[in-house]
Amino acid sequence: MKITFLFLLLAVGGSISHPPLQIEPSPRFRPVNPVKHKAPVSPLYRLNDTWIPSTYVVEIKVVLDNAPAGEVPYTARSRVQISFTVKERVNSITLHANLLTGLAFRLTNEAGVDIPLSPYVVDKEVEKHFLHIPLLSGVLEPGVTYKLHAESLASIFRDGRTNALYLSSYLTEFGDTNPEPGLVGWVRSKFTTTLKMPTYLFAFTIAEYEYVTADAGLFAKPVRVWSTPNHIRDGLGNYSVNLTAKLLSFFDTFFNTTYPMEKVDSATVTHKSSAMENWGLILYRTDLLMYSPLVSLETSKNAIASIVSHEVAHQNFGNLVTCKWWSEIWLNEGFATYLSYMGVDAVAPEFRHGEWQLNDALQPALAYDSGPDSHPLKNSGLTPAEIDSYFSTITYEKGASINRMVEAFLTKETFKKGLIRYLEAKKFLGAEQDDLFVHLQQAAVEDGRVSTFPPGTDVKTILDTWTTQAGHPLVRVSVHSVHGDVLISQERYSDTNSPNLWYVPITVVTQDSPPLPNHVPTLWLSNNQRTTTYDNFPGKWIMLNADATGFYRVLYDAELTLLIQRQLRNDPSKISPLSRTQLLDDYFNLAYKGIFRNFMFPDILHFLFLV
């Protein structure tokens, strides 16, 4: 989910699995002799990989309302020790730092000897969060592990913001609205070293919570749900804790992975907007994790199943493999969204999420994607505000729908094989969409699927048309007036004058054809027009995009619309429920946009509603 934990930590750039930590150093602190730079991906905001962190030792002293002498209420004092190496000789260190005051630094070499530093400099453009620490003299050498010791102070937010450290309160059974006052003494909690992970997945909570553990045998490692004592004692965590364990087990089995952390905790936070997949400590808004069979609505249970499945799916797609940079955040969110439906289908099939995905993801994504706020799946975000804006319906729901389309044209088996390879190859690393495409392509070659691709294309050629341009096609289907051929063409739905084109997978169902064995396309549109002939035409209907696995809308000419309408009237069961759902959504939207104007329109809607 959204980044809610951009934190008080310092980050030296360039850990392989750090999306946010790659920036280019400012010209003042370029590496010294030899000056050798890769072309910057995003020169203004990302760290480059000159500095490579290996471990962070973090000590945080949290002061709440009862501040001892010398401390300020609602602050966190932290000490961080970052071990790092350098890729080339440099005379400075550049970090990302945000929301910190009272900064002080020391640098030591492997022998623990201090290396003198000049005063640090905060970049003038504060939004970049750059902090430069020049060496007083000399350079840092490759092959040496240095330690940067940093001290800082951060405020704890109490204004509803859920960034960094923030205070959230809850009603206890005694009706207190604030955390208990009267803190006496200090409690020190020590945590074991985590696996290599992106800093944005680091989280901890301080609360007087209790927990419930998942039933034995559901998952190999401890799975717990934490909340207020009264919630836990009332059994409100029982549903989600077992659901979490079943989903962990399902995804590990499906993707041939082993959840690598020692435990899975989930906890409620009153003021959270939705949820966050932190590795080992997933946080949820209270009503998205607590379920009461006595008072909760069935829709709440469905929402819990949906979001828990999304967050558990992130443990592989987002945590084990994360996107290298936020521009490809769809690799995290598009997959977690897509897999959420699959996970719920596996552990709570009564919610029928495989079908619900059309209404919940595909149709909202098509609508958003034809509006002014659409953007390519692979976005161009640079600034924090831009990056934040790309946590959108495109990234989540279009990403999910494109995955559904790829699964359909590759087949479930081949798609799964490619994803397993991708996770195995990129685990504990950052990935780009091209990494994904390479593994899908290899699986497609092995399974003989490439023969179903348009000539001269591969997975990347096809999917680049869907991930690097905004919008989606409108596919028009019409009957050639003279010899009955069916004419199929594409144009950009939101702008018919646009030159944008896609590799569009087309499945075809005809009046006389048996149900499709799969959704492997029988033809592709690669330019703006294709002609194909079907037997027994004219006089019989033809429909494209069976079960709406393709991310596009379809408009039939008047004659075909009439024939489809007649079929719906006589025997709607000949057209699958998912195809009927999409026909309805397409025609509503085409009418709304003014592309479809026909006297038969009320009639077709009437019959679609009836079926």
Give me the residues that bind Zn ion (CB under 5 A), please: 1, 333, 336
Q: Residue with CB nearest Zn ion?
A: 1
**For residues 247 and 347, is the Cβ–Cβ distance under 8 A?**
yes
> What is the closest distance, in whole angstroms, from the C-beta atom of residue 317 to Zn ion in the complex?
9
Residue 311 falls in the annotated catalytic set: yes
Closer CB to Zn ion, 333 or 397, in the complex: 333
**For residues 564 and 574, is the Cβ–Cβ distance under 8 A?**
no
Closer CB to Zn ion, 324 or 553, in the complex: 324
The torsion of the CA quartet 25, 31, 37, 38, rounded to 10 degrees, works out to -50
Distance between CA atoms of residues 323 and 21, nearest Å:
12
**For residues 130 and 170, is the Cβ–Cβ distance under 8 A?**
no
Q: Would the annotation count 314 as a binding residue?
A: yes
> What is the closest distance, in whole angstroms, from the C-beta atom of residue 406 to Zn ion in the complex?
19
Distance between CA atoms of residues 246 and 547, nearest Å:
28
Closer CB to Zn ion, 94 or 306, in the complex: 306
- Sign, CA dihedral 15-21-23-29, equals negative
Phi, psi at 576, each rounded to 5°: -65, 150
**For residues 103 and 120, is the Cβ–Cβ distance under 8 A?**
yes
**For residues 273 and 279, is the Cβ–Cβ distance under 8 A?**
no
DSSP secondary structure, 189-237, as one string = ---PPPPS--GGG--------EEEEPPTTS-SS-EEEEE-HHHHHTTTT
Q: Would the annotation count 310 as a binding residue?
A: yes
> What is the closest distance, in whole angstroms, from the C-beta atom of residue 174 to Zn ion in the complex?
35
> What is the closest distance, in whole angstroms, from the C-beta atom of residue 366 to Zn ion in the complex?
21
Closer CB to Zn ion, 209 or 335, in the complex: 335
> What is the closest distance, in whole angstroms, from the C-beta atom of residue 309 to Zn ion in the complex?
11
Distance between CA atoms of residues 50 and 37, nearest Å:
9
Q: b vs e for 486-520, b when ≥16 Cβ sit within 10 Å of the residue's Cβ?
A: bebbbbbbbeeeeebbbbbbbbbbebeeeeeeebb
Q: Would the annotation count 606 as a binding residue?
A: no
Closer CB to Zn ion, 340 or 567, in the complex: 340
**For residues 14 and 21, is the Cβ–Cβ distance under 8 A?**
yes
Closer CB to Zn ion, 310 or 421, in the complex: 310
For residue 473 the two structure tokens come to 């096609």
> What is the closest distance, in whole angstroms, from the C-beta atom of residue 412 to Zn ion in the complex?
23
Query: Which one from 24, 88, 311, 397 is the annotated catalytic residue?
Result: 311
CB-neighbour burial class of residue 609 (10 A; exposed 0-12, middle 13-18, buried 19+):
exposed
Residues of the binding site: 310, 314, 333
Residues of the binding site for Zn(2+): 310, 314, 333
Catalytic residue set: 311
